[in-house]
Amino acid sequence: MTAGPDNNHPTLRARVSYPRNLIIAEYDPAGTGAFDIELARHKDSTGTIPNGPEFGMDGRDMWVRYKFPPDPANYPNGFEYVMFARILGGDDVAIKVVPDFSKIMQGIWRGQVATEPVETTEGRGSRACPICQPVTLLAAVVTTRDDSHPFERAKSDVDEAQSVGTKRLIEEHETWWHGFWKRSFVYCRINHS
């Protein structure tokens, strides 16, 4: 959702900071009332992974962790991914974890063919922001492929991002993407004879 600053509508501006593997989302509710910030993850519907995602909260931090069983060929010690997020600014927030948020129908893919849809459970970690002040959400996603301790790394990445400050994070983001697109630009000149 995007609106100009003069028309009293909520605005959301999200950026993906490639150099930091970080999502920076700035939300201004513009006096529209309470809002929720949620992290959600579906439980594996194939039956391969017996456990579901784990949600946690501490102060203004919230996270989802999903631990996968060992795969002798690729991940003999198991595989885990973590999304760790922190809310900056705004008013006090209420904590709520809903382990069985909803049942959804999800198709299972086997080879190239989708079988009948199956029911799976979605869990959710939710932050209710009761008074509508602007907030910034910093979220890092780290897996076992990035670090052998993905939870600690994701938290550390968010700690570092917070210490750098939103303004500098946005400047880094814009500089990196400007350089990327500048290098990626293709110029084609056609000579007509």
Under CATH, what is the fold of the domain 11-182? Beta-galactosidase; Chain A, domain 5 (2.70.98)
Domain residue extents for the chain? 11-182
Question: For 35-47, how does the pLDDT look when each residue is reduced to its tens digit (9 = 90+)?
Answer: 677 777 777 777 7
Q: Note the pLDDT tens digit of each residue in 48-102.
A: 777 778 888 888 888 888 888 888 898 898 999 899 999 888 766 665 665 554 4
pLDDT, tens digit, for every residue of 89-137?
Answer: 876 666 566 555 444 433 334 333 444 444 444 566 666 665 567 888 8
Contact 128, 96 (CB under 8 A): yes
Query: Which residues have CB under 8 Å from 143's CB, separation 6+?
Result: 79, 80, 81, 82, 150
**Residue tagged 């600690």 (tokens):** 152
Residue 155 above 90 pLDDT? yes
Distance CA 143, CA 5 (A): 37
Question: What global pTM score does this model have?
Answer: 0.72
Q: How far apart are CA 112 and CA 184, in angstroms?
A: 33
